[in-house]
Amino acid sequence: MKGRSIRFSFGVPGILSLPFSPNNLWAAGGGEGIIGEVFWQFVSFVLLLILLSFVLKKPLRAFLMKRREEIKRFLEQSAKKEGESRTQFLEWERKLNSLSQEIKELRQKISQEGEFERKRIIERALEEGGRIREQAQVVAEQEVKKARATLKKEMVDLSVELAEKLLKEATQPWDQERLVKEYIGKVGEFR
């Protein structure tokens, strides 16, 4: 490194001073024409490149290394994010498939519950229908009994009325006197 620095300190200023020597100044117009002018411009350009390469070598190298590291880190982060995205995508896809399965199971469950509820409603309706039939039969039997009792009462009333009418028609005044005497005799015995 030290040997290189010595060469740089003597070589570069010497090379840089060549185009500025009194004989070779651009404005001197040495009469060499366009070829000489292009030559010196080329030499100046090469010297400028050499100077810039020495001066900018370390900062440019550091910049390029830093940029390389940034790009490498960016690519690693991108690869990591891509992996995370794939993992997340697979997880969401799994969740979506799971959700589809849950929806299918839920539909089956709702269908089964609906069928069970339908059967339960039918059973309740049949039970209620049977109970209503039984109540109607009991009410009908009660009404029949009531009608029979009413009919018997009417028959008894009619029979009594008819018997009374027949007795009135069949009994004569002397039968009435005899009945009254018998009744009074029986009442007297009870006393």
> Contact at 8 Å (CB) between 47 and 16?
yes
- In order along its 191 residues, the chain shows pLDDT tens digits of 455 544 555 555 555 555 555 455 444 455 556 787 888 899 999 999 898 888 888 888 899 999 999 999 999 999 999 999 999 999 998 988 888 888 889 899 999 998 999 999 999 989 998 999 999 899 989 999 998 889 888 888 888 888 777 777 776 777 778 878 887 887 877 76
Q: What is the C-alpha to C-alpha distance for residues 179 and 168, in angstroms, rounded to an integer?
A: 13
**Taking the domains of the chain in order of start, what are their residue ranges?**
2-127
* Amino acid occupying residue 19: P
Would you tell me the crossing angle of helices 2-17 and 33-170 to the nearest 10 degrees? 120
Kindly calculate the radius of gyration of the chain based on its CA atoms and give it in whole angstroms: 68
pTM: 0.35
Q: What is the C-alpha to C-alpha distance for residues 24 and 35, in angstroms, rounded to an integer?
A: 13
> Contact at 8 Å (CB) between 47 and 17?
no
